[in-house]
């Protein structure tokens, strides 16, 4: 869990958070009795690990684990065993329950903000110019990965602003040669071609590869 100003944000990816929620609900029967066993299943030698409790803290911030116990929340149960469109809606709610993500989403209106767009809004939202400027690239990568899990129609439901999709404006202002167009599975991104965005896509691809390995 990272912190900027008064805002906390998860460093755990949405894909991992969802996978751990499914594990908690379906294999641990909604509640962890042996915390060390759960830690091992999350890739740690034991629960005596700062990174394990970091993951647990992020799951709580996403609203997947009860704040005082190791029990799955109703949101985690819906994600693990959905009916109809419940899963997608629960994932959207999970992401936008993070106050920093919700505020940035309402201001940016795009899944793929430029680093300058993102930095400007991050400074305004958090009020911490120095730290926001230093950490903008890292937080932007986390934000883009998270928000890419929300469908465009769901993002539009969040606001009645007619300029909801600034990504379309960006596409009109730049030629295709200036953009990276990335479409794979649930991802559909249009990003300016620069080193920061290449790093974002590499991170997404690495997460996809890890997910594929775990399923095989």
pLDDT at 134: 95
Q: Which residue has the higher pLDDT, 210 or 216?
A: 210
pLDDT at 180: 76
Of the candidates 146, 138, 139, 140, the residue with the CA atom closest to the CA atom of residue 187: 146
Q: Which residue has the higher pLDDT, 187 or 180?
A: 180
pLDDT at 82: 93
- State how far the alpha carbon of 71 is from the alpha carbons of 55, 106, 176, in Å: 15, 31, 48
pLDDT at 162: 41
pLDDT at 169: 43
Instruction: Indicate the average pLDDT of the chain.
Output: 85
173, pLDDT greater than 60: no
Render pLDDT for 120-136 as a digit per residue (tens, 0 to 9): 999 999 999 999 999 99
pLDDT bracket for residue 93 (50, 70, 90): very high
pLDDT at 84: 87
Q: Which residue has the higher pLDDT, 157 or 114?
A: 114
Q: Which residue has the higher pLDDT, 92 or 2?
A: 92
Phi, psi of 23 (to 5 degrees): -65, -45
CA dist., res. 142 & res. 215, Å (int): 23
165, pLDDT greater than 70: no
CA dist., res. 120 & res. 202, Å (int): 24
Burial class (CB in 10 A: 0-12, 13-18, 19+), 49: middle
């Amino acid at each position: 869990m990272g912190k900027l100003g008064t805002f906390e944000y998860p460093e755990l990816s949405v894909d991992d958070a969802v996978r751990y929620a499914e594990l908690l609900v379906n294999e641990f029967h909604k509640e962890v009795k042996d915390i060390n066993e759960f830690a091992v299943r999350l890739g740690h030698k034991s629960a005596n690990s700062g990174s394990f409790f970091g993951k647990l803290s992020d799951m709580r911030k996403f609203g997947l684990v009860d704040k005082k116990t190791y029990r799955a929340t109703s949101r985690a149960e819906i994600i693990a065993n959905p009916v109809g469109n419940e899963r997608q809606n629960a994932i959207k709610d999970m992401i936008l329950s993070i106050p920093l993500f919700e505020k940035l989403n309402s201001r940016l209106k795009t899944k793929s903000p430029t680093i300058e767009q993102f930095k400007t809004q991050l400074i305004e939202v958090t009020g911490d110019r120095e730290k926001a400027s230093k950490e903008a690239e890292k937080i932007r990568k986390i934000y883009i990965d998270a928000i890419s899990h929300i469908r465009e129609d769901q993002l539009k439901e969040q606001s009645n602003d007619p300029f909801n999709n600034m990504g379309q404006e960006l596409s009109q202002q730049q030629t295709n040669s200036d953009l990276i167009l990335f479409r794979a599975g649930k991802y559909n991104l249009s990003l300016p071609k620069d080193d920061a965005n290449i790093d974002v896509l590499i991170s997404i691809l690495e997460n996809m590869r890890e997910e594929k390995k775990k399923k095989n």
